[in-house]
Amino acid sequence: MTQAQVDPAEVQSWIQQAEQALQSGNRPQAEALMARVRSAAPEHPAILNATAVGEMQRGNWASARSLLERAVAQEPANTRLWMNLAAALRGLALDADEMRALERVLETEPRHLAALLQKGALLERQGKPKAAAKVYHNALQTLSANTQLPIQLRTMVQRAIDVTNANDAALADHLATQLRELRQEHADEDQSRFDHCIDSFVHRRRIYTPRPTFLCFPKLPALEFYPRDLFPWLSVVETATDSIRAEFERIFAEDADRLEPYVAYPKGRPLDQWAELNHSRKWSVFYLWRDGAPQHEHLERCPRTAEILQQLPMHDVPGFAPTAFFSILDAKSHIPAHTGVTNTRVITHVPLIIPEGCRFRVGSETREWRPGAAWVFDDSIEHEAWNDSDVPRAILIFDVWNPFLSPAERALVSKAVREMKQYYQDEAPLNGTL
């Protein structure tokens, strides 16, 4: 039987039988079946892969690379082939090519433990221990307490733990040095909550709820919706609702091309609950402030809204916050349960266009928006939103400092986050973290 006459389904059946025989301990049967495949279809990816593994065991890295590149050309979504290719490229000391192979694995399986561990090791070899620590941290997050590790990964996992711990200690030392003068300036004020905040970031102490995704400040009240009397400026914002709504309606009618998806994760990031909304206009925004930078063209289009925002105690972390935007949730759309990045801020909603069937949950409490009735909530507590109507819902969203942070704590948080960015710089940037 020539290769052209071989039924691909039959070849695949032989491969599956060989794998089953190998799993059951019948190596002679497995080898006989693979020999049949090799004779009938020598260019089958499974044969190319098996041959390449043998070549790597003999140190023939170039030959293994050639075989595996032919294999991945046929099966570009096969992560096992890409991992073996990455191993061959490592043997050839081709760092850039190895990184590309690992990224192909992580595009398909963002939580692929072996790929994350090998990427961390590669970054270490390239002299980027801080970037390696962040990748190792991501790898360790894929493990649960009862994970049974393959023997070949145990040493790599321990290395990930060691590098992550060392990086945490180095970052803690960096922050201690950089914050010493500011701490002394506020020495007469209680900094214990800030201490707990930084200890948490460098994994020295655990904090239980709320669950922000970046920076958790301990011992703040775990409030879902905040009492209005903590924000005397709320009535000023509510009084301006009609003017703010009119400016939004103008934007929605005339500048729809400037709206952009709020959720915009790049390839290779775990999407989890965001898969449906990623790069989708179902939840779109028009930024007025973004990552601490005023969007001047947009603010000029909304002068009354800009004037109101200037009067507020906005979350102030240069390069990261404040953020303010019009949020549009399309008809029949749902924002899934999630948590925000930090509880050092709280979020204000100013309802503008609210059709029937729009509701919002923070923790255990669900409310319906009412035009002109603003509220403030802690977005580091799990929350989600629904628009069950047939038309879009629109609100103004902006962040302000958590009212329970002292002036000293606000200054320390702002400085600490900027120093975190300075510590990592371009090696592993924190762009837009807040």
The model's confidence at residue 7, banded by pLDDT at 50, 70 and 90, is low
The model's confidence at residue 24, banded by pLDDT at 50, 70 and 90, is confident
Is the Cβ–Cβ distance between 280 and 336 less than 8 Å?
no
User: What backbone torsions phi and psi does residue 302 show, to the nearest 5 degrees?
Assistant: -130, 65
Q: Give the Cβ contact number of residue 86 at 10 Å.
A: 26
As a whole number of angstroms, the distance between CA 160 and CA 172 comes to 18
Residue 434: its pLDDT value, please? 56
Tokens of 69: 């590149």
Q: Which residues pair with 284 in a beta bridge?
A: 261, 328
Is the Cβ–Cβ distance between 263 and 277 less than 8 Å?
yes
Residue 431: its pLDDT value, please? 65
Is the Cβ–Cβ distance between 212 and 341 less than 8 Å?
yes
As a whole number of angstroms, the distance between CA 358 and CA 348 comes to 17
Residue 3: its pLDDT value, please? 47
Poorest-pLDDT segment among 62-71, 195-204, 301-310, 425-434: 425-434
pLDDT digits (tens, 9 = 90+) for 103-136: 999 999 999 999 999 999 999 999 999 999 999 9
Angstrom CA distances, 186 to 151, 181, 182, 219, stand at 51, 9, 7, 19
Residue 384: its pLDDT value, please? 97
Element (H, E) at 432: none
Q: Say yes or no to pLDDT of 15 above 80.
A: no
Estimate the share of the chain in helix, then strand, then coil, as percent rounded to the nearest 5: 50, 15, 35
The arithmetic mean of pLDDT across residues 344-362, rounded, is: 97
The arithmetic mean of pLDDT across residues 305-310, rounded, is: 97
Nearest 5°: the CA angle 355, 359, 364 is: 170
As a whole number of angstroms, the distance between CA 182 and CA 163 comes to 29
Q: What percent of the chain has pLDDT over 70?
A: 97
Q: Which residues pair with 324 in a beta bridge?
A: 289, 398
Q: Give the Cβ contact number of residue 295 at 10 Å.
A: 18
The model's confidence at residue 27, banded by pLDDT at 50, 70 and 90, is confident
Q: Say yes or no to pLDDT of 218 above 80.
A: yes
Task: Please measure the distance between the N-terminal and C-terminal CA atoms of the chain and give it in whole angstroms.
Answer: 63
pLDDT digits (tens, 9 = 90+) for 225-266: 999 999 999 999 999 999 999 999 999 999 999 999 999 988
Asked if the bond preceding 322 is cis, omega within 30° of 0, the reply is yes
As a whole number of angstroms, the distance between CA 142 and CA 138 comes to 7
As a whole number of angstroms, the distance between CA 86 and CA 415 comes to 40
Q: Which residues contact 96 (CB under 8 A, 6 or more apart)?
A: none
Report which DSSP code applies to 92: T
Q: What percent of the chain has pLDDT over 90?
A: 79
Q: How would you label 119-134 residue by residue, b for 16+ Cβ within 10 Å and e otherwise?
A: bbbbbbeeebbbbbbb
Q: What is the mean pLDDT of the chain?
A: 92
Length of the chain: 434
Q: Is the dihedral of CA 15, 18, 23, 24 positive or negative?
A: positive
Q: Is 280 helix (H, G, I), strand (E, B) or coil?
A: coil
As a whole number of angstroms, the distance between CA 96 and CA 88 comes to 13
pLDDT digits (tens, 9 = 90+) for 390-423: 999 999 999 999 999 999 999 999 999 999 999 9
The model's confidence at residue 8, banded by pLDDT at 50, 70 and 90, is low
- Match 């065991």 to its residue by tokens: 57
The model's confidence at residue 6, banded by pLDDT at 50, 70 and 90, is low
More confident residue, 2 or 37: 37
Is the Cβ–Cβ distance between 82 and 72 less than 8 Å?
yes
The model's confidence at residue 31, banded by pLDDT at 50, 70 and 90, is confident
| Structural domains of the chain, ranges and CATH numbers in brackets | 3-151 (1.25.40.10), 228-404 (2.60.120.330)
- What angle in degrees, to the nearest 10, is found between the helix axes of 61-74 and 45-57? 160
